[in-house]
């Protein structure tokens, strides 16, 4: 807590400009929330502070603090930003040379989770790895709509020169499908890793009120409970394993992204209900590679086969010895499958 004042250009204190300021550092979801509260003696003093740009000054200070903290955490890629159609700021990194490819993360993940994959892909591609809206350094705008997320991808495609490949993992693969369906020729090719469709009785379907329940937990600020609900109902993780997950540092990160879990539930829609895939949802005719891990659960293999049957230019590919975690645990294997597929396409062309 401290008493602050304004000064003129010669650093002389301006009379009647005292501000009583409290800075609160609060542990929150595995990080630190900083709150600055400034109290003024009169409304006139507050109006004057706003007029001279005090709010913008604090905002700039926060931005510079964020950039500084990233350097302390060892980040080597400077994030750039692009503004989506609804004004949402989308932060991304760019690295490598070659055809442009945009990485679309899964639920409860941000650009950092895909950074190793981006590193491997950068040998053959210009990689755009971004924070989806509401995550990391990207901002958010309510209410959520799938079309808005597609516009985020469209903005990145524009930055990339007007056309790009898309790679999506898990629910991010379904978002990539949605983008290809809506953006036409600007998406040249799709690489999808294990879209988590539940199309038969190979696994219990996701509850019909899944999104509503998640939103209720977030509204009540029960972020850990929301992650637990996501883990049990969407990921299908048995309850006895969830306590072990909570002990891992990754749980705190998922808590920080919990408010976006419902977004992926909206993207999945009814495709996790145990019924066959809808035949008219995606009109996607570009080359599409649907990858699965050899050791993954049957539902992912069933989903891949069903999607390949739906899309006219889709092919399936199994990664030996891998499972649903391959994007993070074996990024070199995933990158090689993508690069090999692209080489085959070029030779074939």
pTM: 0.78
C-alpha span between 153 and 162 (Å, rounded): 11
pLDDT confidence of residue 77: 57
Alpha carbon 237 to chain centroid, angstroms: 21
pLDDT confidence of residue 349: 43
140-163 pLDDT, tens digit per residue, is 999 999 999 999 999 999 999 999
Residue 232 has what DSSP assignment? I
User: CB under 8 Å to 88, separation ≥6 — which residues?
Assistant: 133, 138, 139, 140, 141, 148, 152
Residue 30: count other Cβ atoms within 10 Å of its Cβ.
13
**Which is nearest to 323 in space by CA: 300, 294, 345?**
294
pLDDT confidence of residue 10: 72
* 101-127: average pLDDT: 95
pLDDT at 93 exceeding the cut of 90 = yes
Per the CB < 8 A criterion, the answer to whether 220 and 229 are in contact is: no
pLDDT at 76 exceeding the cut of 60 = no
237-275 pLDDT, tens digit per residue, is 888 888 878 877 788 889 999 999 999 999 999 999 999
The pair of structure tokens assigned to 201 is: 């009785």
Q: How confident is the model at residue 58 (pLDDT cuts 50, 70, 90)?
A: confident
Omega into 143 within 30° of 0, i.e. cis? yes
Residue scoring higher pLDDT (76 or 327)? 327
Sheet strand arrangement including 31-40 = 2-4, 19-28, 31-40
The angle subtended at Cα 316 by Cα 315 and Cα 317, nearest 5°, is: 125
pLDDT confidence of residue 23: 92
First to last CA, the chain: 68
Residue 42 has what DSSP assignment? S
Q: How would you classify residue 11: left for phi > 0, otherwise alpha for psi between -120 and 50, otherwise beta?
A: left
12-55 pLDDT, tens digit per residue, is 887 777 889 999 998 876 678 888 888 988 888 887 776 655 66
Q: How confident is the model at residue 8 (pLDDT cuts 50, 70, 90)?
A: low
């Amino acid at each position: 807590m401290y008493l602050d004042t304004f000064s003129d250009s010669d650093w002389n204190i301006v009379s009647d400009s005292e501000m009583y300021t409290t800075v609160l550092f609060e542990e929150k979801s595995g990080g630190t929330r900083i709150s600055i509260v400034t109290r003024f003696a009169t409304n006139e003093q507050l109006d004057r502070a706003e007029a001279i740009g005090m709010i913008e000054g604090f905002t700039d200070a926060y931005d510079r603090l964020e950039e500084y903290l990233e350097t302390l955490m060892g980040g080597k890629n400077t994030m750039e930003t692009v503004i989506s159609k609804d004004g949402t700021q989308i932060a991304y990194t760019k690295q490598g040379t070659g055809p442009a490819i945009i990485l679309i993360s899964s639920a409860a993940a941000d650009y950092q989770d895909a950074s190793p994959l981006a590193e491997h892909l950068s040998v053959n591609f210009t990689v755009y790895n971004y924070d989806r809206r509401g995550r990391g350094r990207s901002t958010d705008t309510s209410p959520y709509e799938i079309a808005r997320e597609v516009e985020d991808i469209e903005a990145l495609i524009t930055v990339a020169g007007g056309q790009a490949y898309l790679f999506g993992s898990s629910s991010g693969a379904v978002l990539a499908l949605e983008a290809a369906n809506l953006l036409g020729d600007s998406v040249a090719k799709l690489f999808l890793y294990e879209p988590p469709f539940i199309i038969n009785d190979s696994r219990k379907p996701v509850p019909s009120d899944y999104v509503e329940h998640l939103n209720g937990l977030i509204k009540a600020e029960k972020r850990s409970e929301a992650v637990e609900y996501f883990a049990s109902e969407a990921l299908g993780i048995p309850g006895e394993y969830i306590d072990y997950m909570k002990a891992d540092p990754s749980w705190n990160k998922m808590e920080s992204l919990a408010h976006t879990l419902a977004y992926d539930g909206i993207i999945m829609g009814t495709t996790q209900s145990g019924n066959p895939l809808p035949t008219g949802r995606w009109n996607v005719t570009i080359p599409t590679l649907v990858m699965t891990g050899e050791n993954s659960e049957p539902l992912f293999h069933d989903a891949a086969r069903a999607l390949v049957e739906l899309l006219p230019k889709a092919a399936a590919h199994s990664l030996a010895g891998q499972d649903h975690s391959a994007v993070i645990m074996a990024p070199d294997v995933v990158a090689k499958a993508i690069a090999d597929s692209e080489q085959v396409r070029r030779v074939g062309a």
